[in-house]
Amino acid sequence: MTPSTFLSRLLLRPFAGTASMSVTEPTTTSSSTPPTTTTTSTPPPPATHTSHATFAAGCFWGVEHLFNKHFPGQLHTRVGYTSSAATSPPASAPAPTYAAVCAGRTPHAEALRVAFDPAATPLRDLLEFFFRMHDPTTRDRQGADRGAQYRSAVFWADGAQEAVVRDVLRRVGGEWWGGEGRVVTEKTNGSLSGSFVRNFPPLSRPSEEEEKKKEVGDGKI
């Protein structure tokens, strides 16, 4: 794919015949938190954000940044690790950690869970942007990030979302990527295992002696 072809994907060309849709909020299936991580303290999504969708497209921090930049103020986002219902470990298994996922010891992918208001931001709009902001034709890789945890994937919450995912994927393959068979995006149901931040202790503060030395070095005293 040439740079100009890739850039054309980012020009936000709409599909022909884009339709509106409504979906329902999925149930959270995992509330456990791994011992090496802690859940983020972000506020819950607004009451209008009744729908959720989960996307994997490489490094989850980059994916989150691009979605929030393109849909400013419209989304409530969390990053974490997810896998399909068919490949998820048993409920008794420990929650995934960064080290375990990177080592390939779990079937999880780095993912972004988006809460949104389907009346204001239809799932179809999110999906179209998702297929513009990454390369869905590379298996287990995005750019320099290689490994199954960086695979392209969409995880739907219910049958209504599944229908829209499959329709958009068919159009993406036929209209943008030269055939649906070229798109290797995993498409299945699944749920985010958790939103994780390293559980480091607070950083130490400079002592009075260190502050004094700094002021001396700066010529303040």
Element of type H or E holding 66: helix 60-70
**Among candidates 110, 119, 38, which has minimal Cα distance to 80?**
110
**Among candidates 145, 151, 144, which has minimal Cα distance to 185?**
151
**Among candidates 195, 25, 200, 199, which has minimal Cα distance to 110?**
195
Catalytic residue among 59, 100, 148, 184: 59
Q: What is the CA radius of gyration of the chain?
A: 20
**Among candidates 68, 57, 72, which has minimal Cα distance to 149?**
57
* 59 among known catalytic residues: yes
- Can you tell me the distance from the alpha carbon of 200 to that of 182, in angstroms, rounded to the nearest whole number? 42
- Can you tell me the distance from the alpha carbon of 134 to that of 49, in angstroms, rounded to the nearest whole number? 25
Alpha helices in 98-143 (DSSP H): 98-102, 123-132
- Can you tell me the distance from the alpha carbon of 112 to that of 178, in angstroms, rounded to the nearest whole number? 27
Catalytic residues: 59
